[in-house]
Structure 1
Amino acid sequence: MRVAFLGLGRMGSGMAGRLLAAGHDLSVWNRTPSRTDLLVALGATAAATPREAAGGADAVVAMLADDHASRRAWLGADPGGESHADGVLDATPNPGALAIECSTLSHGWVSELTGRATAAGWRYLDCPVTGLPDAAASGRLTLLVGADATDLDAARPILEPLSDKVIHFGAPGAGTAYKLIVNLLGAIQIGSAAEALALAERAGLDLAQVVDALSTSQAASPQVVRTIRRMLADDADAEVTFSGRLRRKDAAYALDLARAIGGRTPFADVSLAGLDALLAAGRGDANETAIIEIARRAPEEHR
């Protein structure tokens, strides 16, 4: 299939490489053009705009940072700004082309994009993912899909090289709703884990022993175990697999969804406040495990 891939960050570059290795004819676009160089050397074609990448495509896959980047790529215009007519929906794809949005976006924008893409003749799938960059590069992502079942079947030749698990939650928008919920739960777990380790330090406990004990306790979710081990290693600047800024973005989108559907989120509200403090401290681009720095603050520092 002829596939256009938009967004070559930590996740997107590995995903695009998987599609290329699977034999798809790949056109790639990234806001910073130099990020396309490695894939071009492996056989991909670089496009100057999302519209160019999507022209004549059987499918477009996007893996972008947020609503703003996604809107710019699909519509060719900034919110409320001038149209540049260089977005995916300005292109002429092959008949029945698939629009596969893998970014973690707000539910409101996904709903809008679903309508716009469908009206333009695309078959739309929201397909956010779970997994870290190493899973993206090795095809071990879990895909959280909202799509018509027939569209999902048509997309499987593209999705299979990316993943070892596909969960179909329902119609477009359902995959995004689940992704926001699970990432909000992750934010709460990470903040709670940071608070627990900070309390253990204040209590004079050996932190390495605490981490070992927690890792086999009833509280030991995969998220908690990965988080506390990185907090113990104090390596938030060494390898940024998921930044505090991105976690804060996802949590805020989830809270927007909760407000839209009438959900209560007292624990999530506290988690978001901690992430806001992390960004205010200038640590938003460190790995999200830097949140322990906020938990370690003396009580008077939180006033």
Structure 2
Amino acid sequence: MAQAAHVAFIGLGRMGQGMAGRYLDAGCSVALWNRSKAKAEQLIARGARFAASPADAAEGADAIVTMVADDEASTAVWLGEHGAATTAKPGAIAIECSTVSYQHALDLAAALRARGLVAIDSPVTGLPDAAARGKLTLLVGAEPADLDLARPYLAPLGSTIRHFGPVGAGTVYKLINNLMGAIQIAGLAEGLAIAEQAGLDMNLVLESIASGVTASPQVIKHAPRMVARDFANPTFTAALRHKDAAYALALAESLLPEMPVSRATVDAYGKAKAHAPDDDEGRIIEVVSRPKLSEA
């Protein structure tokens, strides 16, 4: 990718801010759009242009990258009245990094291709600090030739590219990944709630979990925060986890006859979303916690 490449970046949430900054680091000309301009101020100070709309951001861009919340937001920023696809030049690389539903990934790619764009899905794994350092893992769905065209615009985001197959395949794996994470976190919340109610030494419980066979990165990350009820600086909200799990369940139920564990997890996160949608996903423990058995 030439340093003079023009990139449009749409969606400046916790992940998007760091991702957009990587294109500035790479020497690109960057146009930004986000519903709230305040989230773009640091990037504007570094030389990015804040656009009036997704269409304004995409005009003349060599690549357009989106990182928004869900199917509805993705449809709006790409295909809405002032969507990026309305002004994107033929041959521009359209990269959907948002976690969307499988059917949306397919439908969006078809709509973008019909407008002459090169469309791939590339959801990511990694936390906001990894996004800012260009250390994300990219989960790609694309035709091989399209991936080759997109690689220069993926490189600033991360060097690990996992190509799962045609468009939509990257989204399939991302939904599996996030569903499994939701199951682990929900299971952890219930396990810790049981331990609390039974009166166990929670420091010993945490030590045992961290050194036991059930320790996963999700468990190790969330267990201390759940026990301390410390949900400051959330990296992923209950609403987003519920959304991803629901998208994953819809895909799963189209492929397999029964998914009871996944269904239960979606229901659990539905309650967490109702309780505190914008708080850290680990707050699900407050939904399942009850008074100690001795007080029942």
Q: 2:220: which partner in 1? A: 225
1:22 matches 2:26: yes
Structure 2 residue 191 is matched with structure 1 residue 187: no
What residue is the counterpart of 2:134 in the other structure? 139
Which residue type is aligned with residue 251 of structure 2?
A: L
Aligned amino acid, residue 90 of structure 1: T
Instruction: Identify which range, 268-277 or 151-160, moves more after superposition.
Output: 151-160
Partner residue of 2:280 out of 262, 270, 287: 287
More deviation, 2-11/160-169? 160-169
Amino acid at match of 1:126: D
8 A Cα contact 2:197 2:291, kept in partner: no
Helix, strand or coil at the partner of 2:155:
helix
Q: Does residue 57 of structure 2 align to residue 53 of structure 1?
A: yes
How many Å separate the matches in 2 of 1:263 and 1:107? 18
Secondary structure of 1:286's counterpart equals coil
Q: Is structure 2 residue 114 aligned with structure 1 residue 110?
A: no
Residues 1:297 and 2:290 aligned together: yes
Q: Given that residues 237 and 281 in structure 2 are in contact (C-alpha distance below 8 angstroms), is that contact kept between their aligned partners in structure 1?
A: yes
Alpha-carbon distance in structure 1 between the residues aligned to 2:216 and 2:161: 21
1:11 to partner: Cα distance: 0.5
Q: What is the CA deviation profile of residues 141-173 of structure 1, one whole-angstrom value per residue up to 9, with x for unaligned ones?
A: 111000111221222222112114111000000
Deviation at 1:272, TM superposition (A): 1.1
Secondary structure (helix, strand or coil) at the match of 1:274 reads helix
Is the 8 Å Cα contact of residues 197 and 290 (structure 2) preserved in structure 1? no
2:74 to 67, 70, 90: 70
**AA in 2 matched with 1:143:** L
| Structure 1: distance between partners of 2:291 and 2:71 | 36
The one-letter code of the counterpart of 1:156 is R
**CA distance, structure 2, for counterparts of residue 15 and residue 269 of structure 1:** 32
Count of equivalent residues: 289
| Alpha-carbon distance in 1 for matches of 2:83, 2:138 | 25
Partner of 2:203: 208
Aligned alpha-carbon RMSD (Å): 1.5
Q: Does 1:91 align with 2:95?
A: no
**1:94-135 residue CA offsets vs partner (Å, 9 max, x unmatched):** x42110000000111111101001111111110001111111
Task: Give distance in 1, aligned partners of 2:153 and 2:207.
Answer: 40
| Structure 1 moving runs of 4+ over 3 Å | none
Deviation larger for 255-264 or 199-208: 255-264
Equivalent-residue separation in structure 1 for 2:12 and 2:47 (angstroms): 15
1:89 Cα deviation (Å)? 1.2
| Alpha-carbon distance between aligned partners in 1 of 2:245 and 2:251, rounded to the nearest angstrom | 10
In structure 2, stretches of 5+ residues that fail to align are none
Residue of structure 1 aligned with 2:240, choices 236, 246, 266: 246
Q: How many Å apart are 1:25 and its aligned residue?
A: 1.0
**How far did residue 285 of structure 1 move?**
1.2
Which TM-score applies when normalising by structure 1?
Answer: 0.92
Q: Distance in 1 between matches of 2:208 and 2:88?
A: 57
Give the TM-score normalised by the residue count of structure 2.
Answer: 0.94
Return the offset for 1:298: 5.5
Q: How many Å apart are 1:263 and its aligned residue?
A: 4.6
Paired amino acid for 1:170? G
- Give unmatched runs, 5+ long, in structure 1: 77-83
